[in-house]
Amino acid sequence: MKKIYLDYNATTPLDPRVLDEMLPYLRDGFGNPSSIHSFGMRGKSALDRAREQAAALINANPKEIVFTSGGSESNNYAIKGVASADRRKKGNHLVTTRVEHESVLEAFRFLERDGFRVTYLGVDASGTIDLDELRDSISEETLLVSCIFANNETGTVMPIAEIARIVKEKGAVFHTDAVQAVGKVDIDMAEIPADLLTLSAHKFYGPKGAGALYIRDGINKKVGLRPLIHGGGQERGSRSGTENVPGIAGMGMASEISLREMKEDERRIRPLRDRLWESLSASIAGIRLNGDMDGLLWNTLNVFIDGVSGDSLSMALDLEGVAVSTGSACSEGKVDPSHVLLAMGLTRADASYSVRLSLGRFTRDGEIDAAAVIVPRAVERIREARGGSSAAL
């Protein structure tokens, strides 16, 4: 049975060209990049090149890139680093949204338990925050605002440049979790006045276990961002620990490929995504899109299907060789419905009747044609097993 992978927002396959870049550092290029001999210098050279490649992807300076183990570490470093550094100077107020990735929300909940005040901004039915509410939420005591760039569950893209400008005008530090946006959206740090931005390699065809935090030049001097991990002072003192050279080299190559091929990926994948939606909406009664198609990432669909549990549909499709998701990969296995969909106004029942389909670089036309047949067939079987739904009658 041929497998059809439609869960690219959870993780992407490793691009073969990325693997080729990593292999030498998994074999004979094993030197510690902090060592001064030739083995170490080879590793240091790989880090320097990858830093330049990752910086180019978002039009940043290489010295503004700090390598981490991935998106969750970068988010925690940005949020806790600012909060712990600036609390005594300014205040103890923080702002975020209700639709963030769990690594952001859990970091803010941790800080709440440590005495910080946190404002959680709501979103409209499309998953977008109200800019006036954002503006009104920031006070003289606000240290940090963190807002997701593109939502991992729904694909909603926030107006990040405008959000960043509002935050900067108010004098707070601004962080954005851009994990789902990098490699899909043009990001130019000369145009977006964000102070901190999170990247994760495995979301744009790189390896798991490699990520980065963009730290705008000068923000450390202004805030004194405190490291999460202490030790040997690697990453110019920002993140101690021997760097994951193979993973970082892979991230660098993935960055270079994405910068070069992102527009071509969009040109090919967007029509496939649209074709899939048109087919599903024509063949499944009681289906609707969660979000506004005009404001979504070009690879993402999050759909509600009346009377069909997202978990049941995901399992049924897996038996047919089709991989989809009920939302964030980090929340798979949880009973609670998506916090993102609840924030967008869905009831708990409707949120549980939703699934995410996300396409990518290796999705092919024939796979979309097959999925357009398999998904409605699975929906019909589930409805028949439960006696049919009103939408199907």
- Would you name the residues annotated as active-site residues? 330
Q: List 200's β-bridge partners, or say none.
A: 211
Cα–Cα distance, 172 to 162 (Å, whole number): 14
Cα–Cα distance, 278 to 289 (Å, whole number): 11
Q: Find the distance separating the first CA and the last CA of the chain, reported in whole Å.
A: 32
Residue pair 214/65 in contact (Cβ under 8 Å)? The answer is: yes
DSSP string, 182-229: BTTB---TTTS--SEEEEEGGGTTS-TT-EEEEE-TTHHHHH-PPPSS
Assigned token pair, 143:
């240290």
Residue pair 85/223 in contact (Cβ under 8 Å)? The answer is: yes
Nearest to 302 by CA among 331, 321, 325, 283: 325
Assigned token pair, 68:
């981490």
Helix (H) and strand (E) counts in the chain: 12, 12
What does each C-alpha distance from 359 to 8, 251, 253, 371 come to in angstroms?
Answer: 6, 20, 21, 12
Q: Which residue has the tokens 């967007």?
A: 270
Cα–Cα distance, 48 to 171 (Å, whole number): 33
Cα–Cα distance, 335 to 50 (Å, whole number): 40
Which residues 6+ apart lie within 8 Å of 338 measured at CB?
A: 153, 326, 327, 328, 331, 351, 354
Mapped onto helix, strand or coil, the DSSP state of residue 70 is coil
Residue pair 227/85 in contact (Cβ under 8 Å)? The answer is: no
Nearest to 200 by CA among 6, 5, 11, 8: 11
Residue pair 219/77 in contact (Cβ under 8 Å)? The answer is: no
